[in-house]
Amino acid sequence: MSISPLLVSLEKALRCLPGVGPRSASRMALHLLERDRGRGLHLAATLTQALEQIEHCEKCQNLTEIQPCRICQDDTRDQQLLCVVSSPSDILAIEQSGLFQGRYHCLSGLLNPLDGLGPNEIGLSDLVMRVEREQPTECLVALASTVEGEATTHQIVSQLRSITRITRLAQGVPVGGELDHLDISTLSQALASRTEIQL
C-alpha cells in the first residue's frame, strides 16, 4: 500500500511538538485533512505569522511582536520589582495568576554543564547588566526547585547580592497537600522555610 508522501511529511512535521508521538501525529494530520481543513489552513497561517513576527523582547527577553514588549511598556507596573524566570512560559503562568505587578527578566534556560548551558549561554551577564543599570530594589528569583534551578539561583545571588535585595518564591507544602504524600525534598524545603504563624 502506497501512502501519500505529503501525509508522511505532515505527520513528521507534527512530531516536532513536545509530547506528540507517531500515533498522535497521525491522528492530528488525518483529523485536519478529513474533518477540519478550514481550521487547518487557519492554523498554518497563524503559525507562519507567529514564526515570522514574534521575537524576543530587547529588554526582558519575553516573546513579543512589538519592541519592547507590552509588559515592559506598561508604566503602571512596579518598576522596582524584577522577577527572574527561565522561560517565557513562566511569565505566562505568573501573569495568569494576576498577583504579580512587577517586571520580568527571562533567562535562556537554567545552568546545565552537561547540556553545554553555562552562564553565557543562559544570559546571566545580561541580567547583571540590567540590574546594574536599572537598580531595582528587589529581584525575585522564580526558578524551578531542581538541581539546575538551585545552581542558577546560587549564581544569581552571588552576582547580585551586593546590588539589590534578592528574594525567591516560597517553597514547601502545597495548599491541600497531605504530608505523607510529599517527597523528601519538598518536605525538607517546607521545614527549612517555616515561618511564624500570625493570628
- Condensed to tens digits (0 to 9), the pLDDT of residues 123-159 reads 999 999 999 999 999 999 999 888 899 999 999 999 9
**pLDDT, tens digit, for every residue of 61-72?**
999 999 999 999
Identity of the amino acid at 178: E
Q: Which pLDDT score, from 0 to 100, does residue 195 have?
A: 66
178 pLDDT band, cuts 50/70/90, is confident
5-52: which CATH topology?
Helicase, Ruva Protein; domain 3 (1.10.8)
**Structural contact between residues 85 and 107, judged by C-beta atoms closer than 8 angstroms:** yes
CATH of span 56-168: 3.40.1360.10
Top pLDDT among 161 and 187 is at: 161
Which residue from 9, 2, 10, 12 is spatially nearest to 37, judged by alpha carbons?
A: 10
194 pLDDT band, cuts 50/70/90, is confident
What are the residue ranges spanned by the domains of the chain?
A: 5-52, 56-168
